[in-house]
Structure 1
Amino acid sequence: MNPDDPRVRRTRDRLRAALLSLAAEHELDSVTMASVARRAEVNRATAYQHYADLEALVSDAMEGAVSHVARCAELCPLDAPRDRAPEPLEALFAHVAEHAVLYRRMFSERGSARFTHRLRDRITEVLAERFSEGARPPGFDDVPTDLHAAHLGGALVGVIAHAARGGRAPADTALAAWRLLRG
């Protein structure tokens, strides 16, 4: 199957959109490939031609969210003042608030462990790359850069999971997260 074929892209787009729609309505463990195929208006066999299983579809569908979070982490100025959250961090938590139901389901006990690991790993990777290029907050020279990046990546994922539960304005969460992450 040629992933550049417009028909393949359209079918995968429909399957991803159907999954995200169903995930916003139901617990993820109650969603099946058959229900996704019905919602996408494709044959179940067609769905399996594109994705080996539901977990592969979930992973692909959530890649957009993972990419968005990683992009925000990449754009965040790590030397910004403590009293004002950087704009990319505010954008990140606004995005999480906008898609809170989906994030809650993905982070839930019955959600996708692959999503959580992928998100943490991507953030860690982005931060480690930035740190190796010299864009590292001051005061951590005695900590290996890979461990520092892993610490911040895990912490940010934890705050994102907590923020998905709601209760605080995205700007307030961004500022609190910034103060924690900045050290």
Structure 2
Amino acid sequence: MTTTDKRVLRTQQALTQALEDLAVHHDYQDITVTNLTKAAGINRKTFYLHYNSIDELVNQLADQVTQQLAAIIHQHAIKTVYHHPGLLLDDFVDFAEAHSAAVKRLLFSDDYSRFANRIERQLTQVLADAIQDSYSLSRQDALIAAHFLIHNTLSLFSYFSTQAAGGKIDRDVFKRYVERLNLTGVSTFFN
């Protein structure tokens, strides 16, 4: 449910920020409503006015991340991206670098894998729709290609992020690997 009530929005933003702050240093199972509400500066009753559980709050954050990544996918037609794959990859790396360590943890930590899987499933649907807008593929082929592309890109980003000196990945190396792996794999669908 979308609201325009500024108090509700402030409370939800405070809880989301508190979750992001706690997620950087805490495993998911260690985050409690008590430490979440304390970090947000609200009481437990207020939390339960907005959410039934921490899972619901994390799902909302996962959906926000999905929407932001979906916006990146929608910036260019997939035919254009296929011929210039760096377009999306640069935007994806910019997104990942601009966001907090919590969002990266949500995407790449084993402890938050349930939420990463949610993001991946939703992005697969978004990308499959975009693929079908550019190519005459069956839904099954579009979903398989989309899953392949999303999964490989996230997996390679996770790998390069953990290998990165100083926390910043070598964008060009990452892009070369993603392009090589992804374009080879999907070329049989798109050609």
| TM-score (ref. length: structure 1) | 0.79
State whether structure 2 residue 158 is matched by structure 1 residue 157: no
Alpha-carbon spacing, 1:166–1:52, altered in 2? closer, same or farther (3 Å): farther
Gaps of 5+ in 1: none
Check whether the contact 2:81–2:87 (CA below 8 A) recurs between aligned residues: no
Paired residue for 2:73? 73
Check whether the contact 2:18–2:40 (CA below 8 A) recurs between aligned residues: yes
Check whether the contact 1:101–1:164 (CA below 8 A) recurs between aligned residues: no
The count of corresponding residues between Structure 1 and Structure 2 is 178
Alpha-carbon spacing, 1:76–1:163, altered in 2? closer, same or farther (3 Å): farther
Paired residue for 1:109? 110
State whether structure 2 residue 55 is matched by structure 1 residue 55: yes
Paired residue for 2:189? none
Paired residue for 1:122? 122
Tell me which protein shows more helix as a share of its residues: 2
Alpha-carbon spacing, 1:78–1:2, altered in 2? closer, same or farther (3 Å): closer
* Residue deviations 1:103-125 (CA, integer Å, cap 9, x gap): 45323222240x21221122211
* Residue deviations 1:53-84 (CA, integer Å, cap 9, x gap): 11111121233322222222333554458896
Alpha-carbon spacing, 1:82–1:11, altered in 2? closer, same or farther (3 Å): closer
- Report the residue type matching 1:175 in the other structure: R
Alpha-carbon spacing, 1:27–1:33, altered in 2? closer, same or farther (3 Å): same
Paired residue for 1:181? 182
State whether structure 2 residue 147 is matched by structure 1 residue 146: no
Tell which has more relative contact order, 1 or 2 (C-alpha 8 A, sep 6+): 1
What is the alpha-carbon root mean square deviation over aligned residues?
2.9
Identity of aligned residues (%): 22
